[in-house]
């Protein structure tokens, strides 16, 4: 199924964000998905995820977290990302700005929106939920980040979280803190632990020499994508046009 894509620029966090919007063929309204990128920024890999979801029938926006940059230097990346991850309000501003773009698209079914994210993008997806945004699903890969006390109770949709067992950035204590937060808040949650996978395991272009504990894992990467598609199919299935 052919898809249409376009670059969208929008303001957030004092920057001009550069997102990638992908639309399925047709003119009808469709369920819509935000896709949040990992710490280094939005690259073609996540843009192609948006395209893949559009091929499955979703309106999909791969959003930007840093004004169109790609931090190839890990120190530069961490200097940008760590303060962002420590500031739920900034994460929410970035997430809401992307959500506004998605909602402004006429093809978007306003009642059926999900937020998926990887690393930093996953943390942003969770913050949208904690902010009470009416999402149909939240998927977070490599980001089992906790929020401000009590705010997880605002999450009203299923949360699917995934993490590599050998991810040093998301160790067992972090997983437990996250699942305890979800459980105490009464969230409908699931956690998948992919055995042997490290941080950013889903990303074929990560350079495992750049940072220790970061490596691609082909089998689990495929499984995680399959699981994400399954989450969307469960929570906001595409109904084919008549």
* Residues sharing a CB contact under 8 Å with residue 100, sequence separation 6 or more, in sequence order: 10
In the complex with its own copies, which residue's Cβ is closer, 22 or 185?
A: 185
In the complex with its own copies, which residue's Cβ is closer, 150 or 230?
A: 230
Strand 137-141 and strand 59-62: the pairing is: unpaired
Residue tagged 């109904």 (tokens): 239
State how far the Cα of 81 lies from the Cα of 66, in Å rounded to an integer. 9
Q: Is 136 helix (H, G, I), strand (E, B) or coil?
A: coil
In the complex with its own copies, which residue's Cβ is closer, 96 or 190?
A: 190
Closest contact distance (angstroms) between CB of 55 and its own copies is 20
Closest contact distance (angstroms) between CB of 182 and its own copies is 6
Contact 174, 155 (CB under 8 A): no
Closest contact distance (angstroms) between CB of 223 and its own copies is 7
**Alpha-carbon distances, residue 80 vs 25, 91, 198, 208 (angstroms):** 37, 12, 22, 20
Residue tagged 């093809």 (tokens): 107
Contact 119, 46 (CB under 8 A): no
In the complex with its own copies, which residue's Cβ is closer, 120 or 179?
A: 179
In the complex with its own copies, which residue's Cβ is closer, 15 or 192?
A: 192
Chain residues that interact with its own copies, rule: CB under 8 A: 159, 165-166, 172, 176, 179, 182-183, 187-196, 219-220, 223, 226, 230, 234
Closest contact distance (angstroms) between CB of 105 and its own copies is 30
Closest contact distance (angstroms) between CB of 189 and its own copies is 4
State how far the Cα of 183 lies from the Cα of 203, in Å rounded to an integer. 29
């Amino acid at each position: 199924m052919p898809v249409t894509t376009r670059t969208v620029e929008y303001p957030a966090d004092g920057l001009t964000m550069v997102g990638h919007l992908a639309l399925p063929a047709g003119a009808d309204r469709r369920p819509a998905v935000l896709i949040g990128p990992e710490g280094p920024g939005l690259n073609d890999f996540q843009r192609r995820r948006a395209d893949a979801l559009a091929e499955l029938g979703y309106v999909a926006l791969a959003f930007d977290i840093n004004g169109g940059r790609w931090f190839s230097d890990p120190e530069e990346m961490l200097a940008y990302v760590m303060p962002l991850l420590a500031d739920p309000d900034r994460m929410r501003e970035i997430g809401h700005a992307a959500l506004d773009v998605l909602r402004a698209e006429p093809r978007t079914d306003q009642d059926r929106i999900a937020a998926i994210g990887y690393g930093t993008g996953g943390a942003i997806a969770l913050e949208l939920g904690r902010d009470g945004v009416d999402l149909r699903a939240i998927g977070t890969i490599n980001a089992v980040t906790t929020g401000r006390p009590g705010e997880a109770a605002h999450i009203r949709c299923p949360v699917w979280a995934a993490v590599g067992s050998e991810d040093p950035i998301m160790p067992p204590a972090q997983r437990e803190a996250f699942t305890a937060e979800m459980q105490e808040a009464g969230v409908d949650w699931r956690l998948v632990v992919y055995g042997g996978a490290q941080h950013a395991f889903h990303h074929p272009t990560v350079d495992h020499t750049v940072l220790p504990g970061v490596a691609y894992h082909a089998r689990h990467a495929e499984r995680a994508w399959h699981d994400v598609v399954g989450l969307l199919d469960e929570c906001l299935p595409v109904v084919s046009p008549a």
